[in-house]
Structure 1
Amino acid sequence: MSTLIAEWEKQDAVILIYPHEKTDWNYNLLKVRLFYHKLVEQFVKFGKVILIIPENMDFQNELDLNYDNLIFLQAKTNDTWIRDNGPIFIKKNNNYVFLNFKFNGWGNRFNFEFDNELNDKLFLSGIFGKNVEKRNINFVLEGGSIDHNSEGVILTTQSCLLNKNRNPQYSKETIEKLFSSIFEHKKILWLKYGKLMGDHTDSHIDMLAKFANKDVIVYSKHLNPNYPYYNELNLMEKELSNFRNHNGKQFDLIPLFLPEIRDKKGNFLPATYTNFFIFNNAVFVPIYCSKEDEHAIDIFEKIFSDKLVIPIDSRILVTQGGSLHCATNNIPHGFLGQ
């Protein structure tokens, strides 16, 4: 049986892509690099960190990062959102499988040539165990577009997976058949509604709703009726309340109230707390120096009473449309070589 591995299960490492001058971070490179340095400093306390850096970077002389748990890999990249162009990992019986889906820059919105090739380099880097096999799949799928509860339930959005800018030849039914052959899950829950202002992903699920454990879904809700997608998010909330797990049981739903974060021109940015990231004994929660931060932190501390909840000021990440979960990719336990 193929099994998607939940973030709350034991992890070997987390992957990050270091921002460089040929990414969209060029205008703010020093500031975002300092942010990544702080991320690495936090993450290495809970497991190994794989940091992908430019091929021409001399990390020993250029980067002031020296941790036993830090591994550098050199590769060409277009951007930093490793959740979406990186691998998806499954266990198939006792075999460990590295899934390499296609990546097309979120529907051909951005350059993606190097990002689409990254998994090949990553797999050949030597960091994975000999028991890990790689499987290439001719289907465009971003990691942030699906979520799962470790018990056979996948959560996703119609607006992303059924968008003609990804896989125009696939219907909902053919996607379900493909996923069944790969993941051997029990149920797919498709959200029809749910949008955030400033989101370039066609509504990735990790921006809207995410499993905190097998029974609990946290989701984005706005308290301001003037927010452009206020009604849309309320319709999403109603959909979630009608969803059931594979045994017919309703999920426990917990709202996370969206902060109103805007760019310098006054445009809404897709700041969301559902873009949290679990790494072994820690839960990293994006915060935005907003009044809603305290409520979000309180919710996560109640859900994850057995883990350390660490708030991360993610205002700089959201200027480029993503947050913590988008910028990270988990390597589950058993995949790294010894």
Structure 2
Amino acid sequence: MPAETTPHDATWMAWPSGSYTLGETAAEAEAARRTWADVANAVAEWEPVHLLVPPSERAEARRLLGAGVTCHEVPLDDAWYRDIGPTFVVDTDDAGERRLGAVNWTFNGWGQQSWATWEHDAVASLVATEASGAVRIDSAMVNEGGGIHTDGAGTFLVTESVQLDPGRNPGWTRAQVQAELAHTVGARELVWLERGLTRDHERYGTRGHVDIVATFADRGVLLVHDQRDPAHPDHAITRDVAATLAEARDADGKPLDVLALPAPAVLRDEEGWVDYSYVNHYVCNGAVIACSFADPHDAEARDVLADAYPGRHVVQIDARPLFARGGGIHCITQQQPCLSADVPEGSR
């Protein structure tokens, strides 16, 4: 699995289609649609975007999406394509030809959550797999794209609360997870975190996705959610995460450089402790599509991201409508890596 920072041929997304993603009022539905569209249109400035849209939302999607977005009409349960889409990988055959693969994880509604349905989402990964022409790789492991991060050289971040979740993979051991990730995405070293952020472990959370906790900005360089306020329960959690990562080694046995990315200053919303996270950004060709929260720490986060990804434009989008529904910008995007070493022609 290449690093997210390598060149992409495209980005894949899914459109909000019902239940909690559209909310209970027309205003809530419009906020959701506009936020998903804002992300898709921002990415489309830098690379092609493919977006799964349920037939009932065809007109709304076309009203808000720009010309750089290609729609694929399919039924959906939800809109988090990072999780329900495939994880793309690249292989080189004996003749030196590079081939694209697509790992189709088993998806069961983030561990059979009582509020989730996944009849359509369980097969939604096949849309990108088939349209991209990738070799299909099926995995028996229940996993989601938001549950892993890689440096592109075999080092992966995972959490015990996701891959070893009894609702996902009952009875599985670390060794079994290691073997499956080695087989499917080329993992050589797993860095295990105990859990994710507080809000993400509540009823409507994922039970600990790593992509709001830490990410690789480069080989050996990690950006880590830093909750500085002791009043928030994530203060203790992120201190434990930072300590674990300070002792970790990558697949080549080298230590990791851990850089703090501040949590927003806001601590609570009307539902409780927030899990707003600047870590949940998406790196595309030439840009970083980043979360903002109308928060005093937005500017500092932007500066940290600009330093971490030199040469890329940082584009901030208000992600509060996404987090109110259970995720962020990274959660709704999935990269399709480029088979060549160069950014595809036409990318900005």
TM-score by length of 1: 0.91
Query: 2:179, 2:40 → 1: CA distance?
Result: 39
**What per-residue deviation string (whole Å, max 9, x for no partner) do you get for residues 137-177 of structure 1?**
22111001011101111111112111111010311111112
User: Which of 133, 146, 149 is 1:147 aligned to?
Assistant: 149
Contact kept in structure 1, 2:40 and 2:65, CA below 8 Å? no
Deviations 1:231-278 (A, max 9, x none): 22211111110011233221111111212353324x122101110100
* Counterpart in the other structure of 2:95: none
The corresponding residue for 1:29 is 29
Partner of 1:115: 121
CA contact (8 A) 2:102 2:136 kept: yes
Map of 1:87 onto structure 2: 86
Is 1:137 the equivalent of 2:139?
yes
Equivalent residue number for residue 51 of structure 1? 51
Judge which range, 250-259 or 272-281, deviates more.
250-259
Contact persistence 1:209–1:274 (CA under 8 A): yes
Q: Distance in 2 between matches of 1:17 and 1:85?
A: 9
Match of 2:215 in 1: 210
The residue that corresponds to 1:169 in the other structure is 171
Q: Contact 1:218/1:253 (CA < 8 Å) preserved in 2?
A: yes
In the alignment, the residues of structure 2 paired with residue 33 and residue 57 of structure 1 have an alpha-carbon distance, to the nearest angstrom, of 10
Relative to structure 1, the CA distance from residue 302 to residue 107 in structure 2 (aligned partners, 3 Å threshold; closer, same or farther) is same
Aligned match of 1:14: 11
Match of 1:302 among 307, 310, 315: 307
Residues 64 and 202 from structure 1, CA distance in 2 versus in 1: closer, same or farther, beyond 3 angstroms?
same
SS at 1:180 equivalent: helix
Asked if the contact 2:51/2:70 (under 8 Å) is kept, the reply is yes
2:76 is matched with: 77
Given that 1:23 and 1:78 are in contact with CA atoms closer than 8 Å, whether structure 2 keeps it comes out as no
Selected match of 1:312 from 307, 312, 317: 317
What pairs with 1:227-266 in structure 2 (closer than 5 Å)?
227-259=232-264, 260-265=266-271
Partner SS state of residue 233, structure 2: coil
Alpha-carbon distance, 1:186 to partner: 2.0
Paired amino acid for 2:45: K
Cα distance in 1 between the residues matched to 2:294 and 2:23: 24
CA distance in 2, matches of 1:38, 1:65: 8
Is 1:221–1:255's contact at 8 Å kept on the other side of the alignment?
Answer: yes
Unaligned runs of 5+ in 1: none
Matching residue within 103, 108, 112 for 2:107: 103
TM-superposed deviation, 1:55 = 2.4
Name the aligned partner's letter for residue 122 of structure 2. Answer: N
Q: What is the deviation of 1:57?
A: 4.2
Q: 1:179 to 1:38 in 2, by over 3 A?
A: closer
SS in 2 for 1:225: coil
Equivalent residue letter for 1:77: L
Secondary structure of the corresponding residue to residue 64 of structure 1: helix
Matched residue pairs, number?
Answer: 327
C-alpha distance in structure 2 between counterparts of 1:257 and 1:139, whole Å: 33
Q: What CA distance in whole angstroms lies between the structure 1 residues aligned with 2:241 and 2:64?
A: 42
C-alpha displacement of 1:117: 1.5
The alpha-carbon deviation at position 41 of structure 1 amounts to 2.4
Q: 1:24 to 1:64 in 2, by over 3 A?
A: closer
How well do the aligned residues superpose, as a CA RMSD in angstroms?
Answer: 2.0
